[in-house]
Amino acid sequence: MIDFINYLLGGVGSGAIIALMALALVLTWRATRVVNFAQVGQAMFTTFIALSIQTATGNWFVALVGAMVAGAVLGVFVQYLVLRPVSRMDTSGAIIATFGVLIALQAAAGMIWGGDSQAFPQPFNNSAITLFGQEWPLSIYDLVVISLAALMVVGLTLLFTRTSLGLAMRATAFNPEVARLSGIRVSRTLTVGWALAGVVGGVAGVLVAPTSTISPNSFDILLVFAFTAAVIGGLDSLVGAVAMGVGTGLIISLVSGYSDSSNAPVVALVLLAVTLLLKPEGMFGHTKARSV
């Protein structure tokens, strides 16, 4: 039982990161009905930028802000140059284009920072907290990760529910034509959605990097986890992405704890397959997985 609780708590930190990445996927899906498979590529790229800033300044917060800014810029760049012209075409084309961006970003990162795995310095104490005379499977760093993720979720919720920009984004996601007729500048709203996704993905990248290493394709597995979480959550539900992101993190932590961490990708695959088989619209979503 104590094992179970330990594994569960250990999964909250990684779950929060998966939730953020899933959130980024959902943001772009809501904005443009495109699953941005290049999202982890963008996150990887901005995390490398953050690593460079961290190395230069030694300040983790500056690096984090740098990653957020770079994420927004890169998100706008990708949406403006690639997805906006493609979105008028077939869905196959848009999906293939995002993979093209992913390949190009990974290669560019390899050119600039090299293909080897690099350590991202641990900004906070990463050893287990001792409380009430007992060690807990959480570190200060985990708490930072969880609070930052929670902060982002709260911020996004406020943005979507309390601001006119959020209202415009919701309206655009609901029906772009009607939104345009109501005077919303739809294309600008879509771009904002991509920028936001870039920021969220950038934060996720910076948060996940110190827990392992960073290399041009070290985030591939995160893409699988995040996509799984986003689909289980319903793909157009922010709440669903966060809840299922944390849930996926917990399940992976439990499986890794009781068996072996190399099972994680297979578990994610099974979760994804079962969800798509039984409830393709996800737990929180309204999007139909099949149009016929």
Partner 1 sequence: MAELMRKPGARLLLHLAIVVAVFVLMMVVNDHVDPLMNYYIALAAMYATAMFGMVILVGLSGQVSLGNGALMAIGGYIFALTSMNWQTVPILGLPWNGWWSMVFAGIGGIVFGLLIGGLGARLTGPYLAGLTLGIAVGIPAIANRFPALFGGENGLTLTVPYPEGGYAAVDAGTDYVDPSLAASSAPVASAFPSQAASVAPGDLLTASNFPSAGPSVAPSVAPGDLLTASNFPSPGASSGAGDLLTASNFPSAGASSGDLLTASNFPSPGVSASAVPDLGGTDVSGGTGDNGFVIEHWQASLAVLVACIVAFMALNLVRGRQGNVWRAVRDDPVAAAVSGISPSTAKVTAFVISSLFAALAGGVFAQILAYVGPGAFGLGLSLSLLVGVVLGGRSSLFGAVIGAVLLVWLPEFVLNLSNDRGWSEQITNNAPNLIYGLLVVLVVLVAPGGIVGSVQSLIAKVTKR
List interacting residues with partner 1 (CB under 8 A): 29, 34-35, 37, 82, 85-86, 89-97, 99-111, 114-117, 215-218, 220-221, 223-224, 227-228, 231, 260, 262-266, 268-269, 272-273, 276-277, 280, 289-292
Closest distance between partner 1 and the C-beta of residue 103, in Å? Answer: 4
Closest distance between partner 1 and the C-beta of residue 90, in Å? Answer: 8
Number of H helices, E strands in the chain: 12, 4
**125: CB partners within 8 A, 6+ apart:** 139, 140, 141
Closest distance between partner 1 and the C-beta of residue 249, in Å? Answer: 16
Structural element, H or E, at residue 213: strand 213-214
| Residue 41 or 123 with smaller CB distance to partner 1 | 41
| Residue 146 or 226 with smaller CB distance to partner 1 | 226
| Residue 158 or 289 with smaller CB distance to partner 1 | 289
Closest distance between partner 1 and the C-beta of residue 232, in Å? Answer: 11
| Residue 64 or 109 with smaller CB distance to partner 1 | 109
Say which amino acid occupies 21. Answer: M
Say which amino acid occupies 226. Answer: A
| Residue 117 or 126 with smaller CB distance to partner 1 | 117
DSSP label at residue 80 = I
Asked if 71 and 201 count as a contact pair (C-beta separation under 8 A), the reply is yes
User: How many of the other CB atoms lie within 10 Å of CB of 35?
Assistant: 19
Closest distance between partner 1 and the C-beta of residue 261, in Å? Answer: 10
Closest distance between partner 1 and the C-beta of residue 40, in Å? Answer: 11
Structural element, H or E, at residue 128: strand 128-131
Orientation of helix 220-233 relative to helix 2-32, angle to 10°:
80
3-state class of 124 per DSSP? coil
| Residue 93 or 155 with smaller CB distance to partner 1 | 93
3-state class of 134 per DSSP? strand
Convert 127-162 to b/e letters by CB count within 10 Å (16 or more is b).
Answer: ebeeeeeeeebbbebbebbbebbeebbeebeeebee
Closest distance between partner 1 and the C-beta of residue 175, in Å? Answer: 19
| Residue 82 or 195 with smaller CB distance to partner 1 | 82
